[in-house]
Chains A and B, each alone.
Chain A
Amino acid sequence: MDETRGIEIVDVSYAYGAKPALAGVSMALRPGRFTALLGPNGAGKSTLVSLLSALFVPQDGRISIFGLDLAKDPLSALSGMGIVFQQQTLDLDLSVRQNMAYFAALHGLGGRRAGRRIEACLARLGLAARQKEKVRALNGGHRRRLEIARCLLHEPRFLLLDEPTVGLDVPARADLVAHVHALCRDEGLTVLWATHLVDEVEADDDLIVLHEGTVRAQGAVPDVLAASGAHDVLAAFHNLTTPAPVEAVS
């Protein structure tokens, strides 16, 4: 695994039957950077996340994770990846710690090493005091934090998060966005954060705008703003995803 190579998605296409979801998508994520994948509902974000997590296989194109071809060596690629899906994936009837331990086992972490990692990750996300509680007793924000703590257990270098703030109130959302930005900054993780909410994008992030299965713009936020002729992310998003009005013919 060569971390300096980042994540490369080259000419990837995917369709559900006759309905295309992604058409010739290419993008590059710089290592150690927080990249926001911004797109309206139905843009193809979740499909892209499913392709990156090897749940789907691209019908065209290729994906490379830190230099590893996902099609040829999915297990090595997955071992360096932490994933948070849009849909919550916790076992509500198990405790916080039991959920963590199950995930650790799936990644081959057992015994004391798993115990140490569980303690460290829960502490990192501020959940150390709640590890004996059933997940059912946690609020939405804490459940999401737990999913992020869980995806850090095996020390991944690439975090893939698909609309992780869905269903959270404003303070919980802001808290989660700040946590993941801090993780990226402090530990040098490469992050892909899929969202449809422009206020989750920070000025020094990288930004990719996806719409109707195609990439409309990508680069550092100032570059995307300049290319789209906008002064803020909301205006850029609007310019890039709204069809130009048809001129009236008299």
Chain B
Amino acid sequence: MTRPAGIYLTCLTGVLWREALRFVHQRERFIAALVRPLIWLLIFAAGFRSILGVSIQPPYATYVTYETYIVPGLIAMIQLFNGMQSSLSMVYDREMGSMRILLTAPLPRWYLLASKLMAGTVVSLLQVYAFLIIAELTLIDLPPIGYLAVLPVLLLTGLMLGALGMLLSSTIRQLENFAGIMNFVIFPMFFLSSALYPLWRMQESSDLIYRLCIANPFTYAVESLRFALYLEAGPLSLGIVAGALVVFFGLAVWGYDPKKGLVHRRGKG
């Protein structure tokens, strides 16, 4: 049966509103999301500034400080953690049962999951802009229009990393298993990328690690953001991020398919 478009919009608004309310109620989550990248920016990067210089490379027109270099990586880090946080919240909702309320709404499951994904991404945008304001006030100097230009790319990268989290949530059976995500997903994705060091430097050190970095979709999220902040498009990076979004989201929808049986595995007599 075809359902009126207004129902879809009302549902999306409701899911966005609920996620925003939950975010407002979880002030610790917001503070943690800000403190993490700020520690990297204000302490780690300050310490490494004199050791690691970044020579001129696109999209930078001149030599940039290390703090400036790692800002896109830290933005992507916020979105990566937010995606995993959303994933954790989905596993929690499933354990607590409230996921069933979402999944029994009379709308296609892919749409319900897409609404949830969109809501998580909007929350990540709030976190990113709060971080950028503090970064701008302290250390870095970005083109003002860059803050606006980066918005559509933030949406894309946020959706891609959120979809990855959603995919993981469909495979995790218990909340206790979630700690493994930190060791096996977040850290490898972040460190095996161009977030903290240019890839040409990585290639000088280890060709194998360099190859892992270029196979990591997080690298392309970082590079898309880096170019967008300086008003340039990175079509290859954007294409790979979009492709990864389609794959991760498609697999997540498949993971939540009742025929495959997310709830099936968890059912009771």
Interface stretch among B98-106, B183-191, B204-212, B216-224?
B98-106
Residue B107 lies at the interface, judged by CB distance under 8 Å to chain A: yes
Query: In the complex, are the beta carbons of A108 and B3 less than 8 A apart?
Result: yes
Complex-state Cα separation, A79 to B100, whole angstroms:
15
Query: In the complex, are the beta carbons of A90 and B98 less than 8 A apart?
Result: yes
Per-position contact with A for B13-39: 1 when CB-CB < 8 Å, else 0?
A: 111011001100100000000000000
Query: In the complex, are the beta carbons of A106 and B101 less than 8 A apart?
Result: yes
- Majority secondary structure, B binding face: helix
Contact of B106 among A78, A85, A86, A101 (CB under 8 A): A78
Query: In the complex, are the beta carbons of B107 and A55 less than 8 A apart?
Result: no
Given A93-B22, A98-B21, does the pair A47, B267 have CB atoms closer than 8 Å?
yes
Query: In the complex, are the beta carbons of A45 and B263 less than 8 A apart?
Result: no
Residue B198 lies at the interface, judged by CB distance under 8 Å to chain A: no
Query: In the complex, are the beta carbons of A55 and B101 less than 8 A apart?
Result: no
Minimum C-beta distance from B2 to chain A (A)? 10
The residue in chain B whose Cβ has the minimal distance to the Cβ of A41 is B269
Given A54-B104, A55-B103, A107-B105, does the pair A91, B10 have CB atoms closer than 8 Å?
no
Given A21-B269, A47-B267, does the pair A106, B105 have CB atoms closer than 8 Å?
yes
Most chain A CB atoms below 10 A, which of B3, B108, B261, B269: B269
Residue B6 lies at the interface, judged by CB distance under 8 Å to chain A: yes
Query: In the complex, are the beta carbons of A50 and B267 less than 8 A apart?
Result: yes
The residue in chain B whose Cβ has the minimal distance to the Cβ of A113 is B10
Residue A87 lies at the interface, judged by CB distance under 8 Å to chain B: yes
Residue A228 lies at the interface, judged by CB distance under 8 Å to chain B: no
Query: In the complex, are the beta carbons of A110 and B259 less than 8 A apart?
Result: no
Complex-state Cα separation, A89 to B105, whole angstroms:
13
Minimum C-beta distance from A46 to chain B (A)? 5
Minimum C-beta distance from A160 to chain B (A)? 10
Query: In the complex, are the beta carbons of B3 and A75 less than 8 A apart?
Result: yes
Query: In the complex, are the beta carbons of B10 and A110 less than 8 A apart?
Result: yes
The residue in chain B whose Cβ has the minimal distance to the Cβ of A134 is B25
Query: In the complex, are the beta carbons of A75 and B1 less than 8 A apart?
Result: yes
Given A91-B22, A98-B21, A103-B101, does the pair A108, B7 have CB atoms closer than 8 Å?
yes
Residue A209 lies at the interface, judged by CB distance under 8 Å to chain B: no
Residue B96 lies at the interface, judged by CB distance under 8 Å to chain A: yes
Minimum C-beta distance from B73 to chain A (A)? 33
Complex-state Cα separation, A104 to B102, whole angstroms:
11
Query: In the complex, are the beta carbons of B106 and A79 less than 8 A apart?
Result: yes
Given A50-B263, A78-B104, A105-B14, does the pair A87, B21 have CB atoms closer than 8 Å?
no
Complex-state Cα separation, A91 to B20, whole angstroms:
13
Per-position contact with A for B248-269: 1 when CB-CB < 8 Å, else 0?
A: 0000000000110101110111
Contact of B267 among A21, A41, A73, A89 (CB under 8 A): A21
**Interface of B toward A, CB cutoff 8 Å:** 1, 3-4, 6-8, 10-11, 13-15, 17-18, 21-22, 25, 96-98, 100-108, 112, 258-259, 261, 263-265, 267-269
- 14 A-B pairs within 8 Å (CB atoms) are namely A16-B264, A21-B267, A55-B103, A73-B1, A78-B106, A85-B100, A90-B98, A94-B21, A105-B15, A105-B18, A106-B101, A106-B107, A108-B4, A108-B8
The 6 closest A-B pairs by CB, nearest first: A105-B14, A108-B7, A87-B97, A79-B106, A106-B105, A110-B10
**Interface of A toward B, CB cutoff 8 Å:** 16, 21, 41-47, 50, 53-57, 73, 75-76, 78-79, 81, 83, 85-91, 93-94, 98, 101-110, 213
